[in-house]
Amino acid sequence: MRTDTSVGALPAREHLPAGEPGAPVPVLDVVIPVHNEEKDLEACVLRLREHLARTFPYAFRITVADNASTDRTPGIAARLGRVMPEVTSVRLEQKGRGRALRAVWERSDAPVLAYMDVDLSTDLKALLPLVAPLISGHSDLAIGSRLAGGSRVVRGPKREFISRTYNLILRSSLAARFSDAQCGFKAIRADVAERLLPMVEDTGWFFDTEMLVLAERAGLRIHEVPVDWVDDPDSTVHIVRTAVDDLKGVWRVGRALAVGALPLDRLARPFGDDPRDRSIDGVPGGLARQLVGFCVVGALSTLVYLVLYSVFRAGAGPQTANALALLVSAVANTAANRRLTFGVRGRERAVRHQAQGLVVFGIGLALTSGSLAALDAAAGAPSHGTELAVLITANLAATVLRFLLLRAWVFPDRRTDHPEREPKKAAR
């Protein structure tokens, strides 16, 4: 997995400055990746150019990315670029849709980058709704979806089954929430691409799926547009080979996410105009969201703790059962709070955080064990229900102290700990 991204979080999204048709720097760069498409290329480019000239209110560019074609495709692309100023072409000597998109997007000067398949299976009326949220600053990426409500799709049962099965695999294995990973109709803001693309390893058909999964895990906003889509019966995509490569990609990305091998925190964005992010006198930034996350994690870990205590209590004394249950739940609690409450991702300092969490666990153990000892001294042989009631009360007191220690000591505000990581403006 590549991890050579720029250091620092992304700035807040802003509305892109309005451009004029024909401006020297286009607002939108639409890439058409092709391999041996001499039959469809010219008609596709002409239709797309006519549509953009008629409906798109900003300057645009169409880039034909030729993936090592061996037919007349490179000559057609070059000729279209000579006769139409909005069209350009790039030649790559290796195949791979992901490789082509990366090559063009990394060199493009347009603030919004998009791509679509040469067969134009997706109705072009969805193009402006696709890129508008990126131009306005509302979203980071946008995808056309054939599975969203309102979409109208014409395709055979085989492709329908494969598409839905693939998206079900993504949802179950990678917890993906976007509805359609394979539709060849996507867009991304250039500032996001600059940080995100170095993390994407695939160079083939899995490229955009990997890009979407990483973006979603980093908390970026993905806008979905229902599309009208008609299957191309002459498509040259090798379904079985592509499916196998995609499954390999799912395994690779899932493993990297599971071990925290990707610095996704470098893609984090502030919420901008979200009222919850506005500063309030006397209230530290992010406190409300951290409290909500801590309470959710705390409720779940307390439930796990009580279940474990009841299990261990069947074969051990109350002090031993309490220590074992608290130790197991504390490790899980620290890991969950690290990721969900305080937004720390990756393996950096993970061992140190767990060690500090065990110190906090020791304080909680002292409170709960002391409460059990006091109960035993006062009541002699208390019932199991009484023990649980005392432990819940003691845990409530320990929880308040745990949150304060986690926030101030284990997971302090990284912006003040590492001033050198303040985001820098990317020069494009």
Contact 141, 223 (CB under 8 A): yes
- The residues near 403 (Cβ < 8 Å, ≥ 6 apart) are 291, 294, 298
**Measured in whole angstroms, how far is the alpha carbon of residue 42 from the centre of its chain?**
35
Token pair belonging to 166: 């693939």
Distance CA 10, CA 422 (A): 10
The one-character DSSP state at 206 is: T
Token pair belonging to 174: 């990678």
Distance CA 414, CA 418 (A): 6
Contact 48, 120 (CB under 8 A): yes
Contact 251, 207 (CB under 8 A): no
CA distances from 132 to 99, 123, 128, 188 (A): 26, 16, 6, 11
CA distances from 388 to 158, 298, 330, 331 (A): 56, 16, 17, 21
Closest by CA to 118, choosing from 58, 202, 31, is: 31
For this structure, is 232 an active site residue? no
Distance CA 102, CA 96 (A): 10
**Measured in whole angstroms, how far is the alpha carbon of residue 356 from the centre of its chain?**
29
Distance CA 187, CA 303 (A): 43
Can you name the residues that pair with 153 across neighbouring β-strands? Answer: 229
**Measured in whole angstroms, how far is the alpha carbon of residue 34 from the centre of its chain?**
27
Per the residue annotation, which of 208, 228, 281, 413 is the catalytic one? 208
Token pair belonging to 171: 């949802």
Contact 214, 253 (CB under 8 A): yes
Contact 201, 210 (CB under 8 A): yes
* Class of residue 167 by CB neighbours under 10 A (exposed 0-12, middle 13-18, buried 19+): buried
Residues annotated catalytic, as ranges: 208
